[in-house]
Structure 1
């Protein structure tokens, strides 16, 4: 494998590992927001912002954690036949599905970037009493799709390396290194 390909995989996986580990803490942010919502309702002064903020935080938690989940092998796969295949045949099957994923993520990224640009240009706001601007969460969605696309390409390079019999060491403990 060319040195640039190995460097790409290691850098993207290290970046997505860090982003995913940081995204894990958003769960505590969600819990804090929902706790605050409960307290304000008990005190008979409910907040207008808590439901939407919890939803926005959940979107960030879910989407920013997706590249991390992919590299850790936590994604769902039909193991009926796959688990019985040799490692190289698994890599060939993964290459096919990763090409489909890359196409899908490209379309999703294009739509997310377009939606973010539109939201910024018109000053789009949520149709609620709180009326927060929507561009920040749309920007997070675009970033998450971009990181997931980079991780899918890294996964493809790792599969090609497996087929060639080259081992790309993982930049962290755990993961899907076969």
Structure 2
């Protein structure tokens, strides 16, 4: 099987987190078609991303997509068997290497000891009885004989291990080549099927649109109406000056919600890379858990606005709106303690993250208090963006080495949004208490 060695560039990660939600939000707001039809562009996107599983045919309600699944499963099975064969080959090859090195070392040692035996025996015979020279010669002779004895035993053991491991290594290598061939040919079959469907897709989309029935259209219209009814987040926007805070929280919540779609594509790529191409990535998991951490922080204000946080409201639910407002005002002190603690702690983390010494980055020097903000502005040039020797602050410790300071600043953004939404909620509660609405 061919292997993938793709590593996501840092700039592509950030561009994706910013551009993808903007595009998705624009598409979500586009006018809905009156008649449901299959999309050729969407079909090609599914072909590219899920063609190995025949998902493009399932999208068009074409059961010929079932033919892709056994071929794909054959690739997974062959790769799994190849992984077992690779492990067996690695173990056997390691045993062979150790045995060969042992034989090389011990044979030289035994040969050297055997060559020294006549000289040592002659020295022992020539030495005077009871002398120190005799005892020394006897000890050297005994040492050489023990070396020969232990060396021959080690050689015999190593030869046995070598004789046992070599056939295992050869068999494992043959299995690995066989299963690699099976996976390779199955992959070529899938590629051929995908290439053929790329040519047939316009006709398949046209045929699928021709099969659309009135029942399908009615189901699509009902689903569209349900979606329009449930898309009522705008009802949480309050009147007056607090409305812009609510709209900001709604926008940020919707923006980061689309990051979950990015996770689907990234983890799909990771699974295909790992189990089909035997090329696990060193960036997918880290990229996604950092993304979900930022999503959790930014969406806090949205959850607060839409009252999505879990709370115990056994007594609260039965209160009148005015009493609820009074209760919220009294308990808001605990919220603001948490929110401001989060904000100021996040600010400290963010400043510490960019203060990490990293080449001649002006931002890091400013964060450490070594230069003023005016000096940063005066000395700023494009090298601060383009010089590969300049790293702004803290980076991750794995091979991907993505900068971590942007995530720390997103914590600040999340804390600030939460404080603003708390201010909006407090203002609305005061309005209800004073004005009654």
Q: TM-score range by the shorter chain?
A: 0.7 to 0.9
2:283 matched to 1:13?
no
Residue in structure 1 matching 2:328, options 88, 94, 110: 94
Distance in 2 separating the partners of 1:63 and 1:38? 27
Distance in 2 separating the partners of 1:136 and 1:109? 15
2:348 alignment counterpart: 114
2:423 alignment counterpart: 153
Distance in 1 separating the partners of 2:394 and 2:430? 43
Matches within 5 A, 1:1-80: 7-42=240-275, 43-80=277-314
Distance in 1 separating the partners of 2:350 and 2:266? 25
Distance in 1 separating the partners of 2:256 and 2:345? 23
Offset, 1:128: 2.0
Indicate the SS of the match to 1:125: coil
Distance in 2 separating the partners of 1:109 and 1:11? 20
What RMSD in Å do the two structures reach over aligned CA positions? 1.4
TM-score by length of 1: 0.86
Distance in 1 separating the partners of 2:257 and 2:419? 20
Q: Work out the number of aligned pairs and report it.
A: 162
Distance in 2 separating the partners of 1:11 and 1:92? 23
Indicate the SS of the match to 1:79: coil
Q: Where is the helix percentage greater, Structure 1 or Structure 2?
A: 2
Offset, 1:8: 3.4
Deviations 1:6-61 (A, max 9, x none): 64311111111111111110110122221111111111111101111010111122
Matches within 5 A, 1:121-140: 121-122=355-356, 123-140=393-410
Distance in 2 separating the partners of 1:36 and 1:98? 44
Residue in structure 2 matching 1:142, options 412, 425, 428: 412
Indicate the SS of the match to 2:355: helix
Offset, 1:166: 4.7
Distance in 2 separating the partners of 1:24 and 1:36? 20
Distance in 2 separating the partners of 1:143 and 1:27? 19
Larger Rg: 2
Conservation of the 8 A alpha-carbon contact between 1:29 and 1:57: no
Distance in 1 separating the partners of 2:262 and 2:340? 30
Distance in 2 separating the partners of 1:91 and 1:136? 37
Higher relative CO (Cα under 8 Å, sequence separation at least 6) belongs to 1
Conservation of the 8 A alpha-carbon contact between 1:13 and 1:154: yes
Deviations 1:40-97 (A, max 9, x none): 1111111101111010111122221111111111121211111111111111111122
2:432 alignment counterpart: 162
Q: Any gaps of 5 or more consecutive residues in structure 2? A: 1-238, 357-392
2:375 matched to 1:105?
no
The range that moved more, 30-39 or 51-60, is: 30-39
